[in-house]
Amino acid sequence: MGNLDKMPTHSVEEAQEEANKMRDKIKQGEAKDYPEAEKSVEKEKIIAEISERIEDARKGGLIDNEVANLVTDSLQLSGEDALFANRVISRGSDPASLELAMTGTVSEATMRAHTLGPGALSEDEKGSWLVLAAASIDENAKADLPITEKFNQFRKAVNWLETASDEEKKEAANAELQKILNLPFKVENIGGVNMQVYTSDRGFASAYWSGKGYAAVKQGNMIFVGSQEKPLEEIGVKVDKQLSPTFGIIFEKK
């Protein structure tokens, strides 16, 4: 009985109200059946609860009105719209959010650069990504910007992408490329092989685009080791966790 006591209880009126909402959603074509309608009603309840907490935070002075409105509006979104809002709120402008704003979708190449790093881009894909990266916010330098300032920078980035000439975009892309190629690194023995070691997550791109076949990126107590083509085993690198033939992780011992 102890577990039953902890289960949420609903009054007959609340249960009837939820049933009516589910029936209305099916009638209005917002859901095809009761299970789908139930999920939709549950999502609305969660959004309402979060919105209430946001309002309490606003009243308590923890966030300002504009931030409260932005987050509340973002909760109503779904699919790629939700992805877009989440990225801008958490990161500011980046290649994925800018491409989504400009074209209505995120290309496979841009998503690959986001998940695997820009070093995974082909030579043909690199140019358009560099233009988007040039317009993006500097995540390291401006990570703590208020949300409203991130949105302002995002609007300026979109405006630049819409109005800049091809020559201006080419110059910006070249400057972004040089910034990546000039990322600092140290040469260390990683997994039994000497290689360039970076602290930036764009380190693999810096190494690969400089003609190096493999490199490492240190983040916290983990060292990510990547190879552009050859399997790590063939190179002679030993890792603690192999994620693919060309990528693995070494956990630094404290």
Per-residue model confidence (pLDDT) at position 2: 42
Last residue of a domain, one of 145, 161, 180: 180
- Whether 146 and 220 share a structural domain: no
Per-residue model confidence (pLDDT) at position 181: 97
Owning domain of residue 27: 2-59
Last residue of a domain, one of 163, 180, 197: 180
Would the pTM of this model clear 0.75, i.e. be above it? no
All residue ranges of the chain with pLDDT < 70 are 1-16, 40-92, 139-145, 147-148, 254
Please tell me the total count of domains within the chain. Answer: 3
Per-residue model confidence (pLDDT) at position 86: 56
Measured between alpha carbons, how far is 177 from 195 in angstroms, rounded to an integer? 21
Per-residue model confidence (pLDDT) at position 58: 57
Per-residue model confidence (pLDDT) at position 208: 96
Per-residue model confidence (pLDDT) at position 254: 67
Asked, for residue 86, whether it belongs to a domain, the answer is no
Per-residue model confidence (pLDDT) at position 168: 97
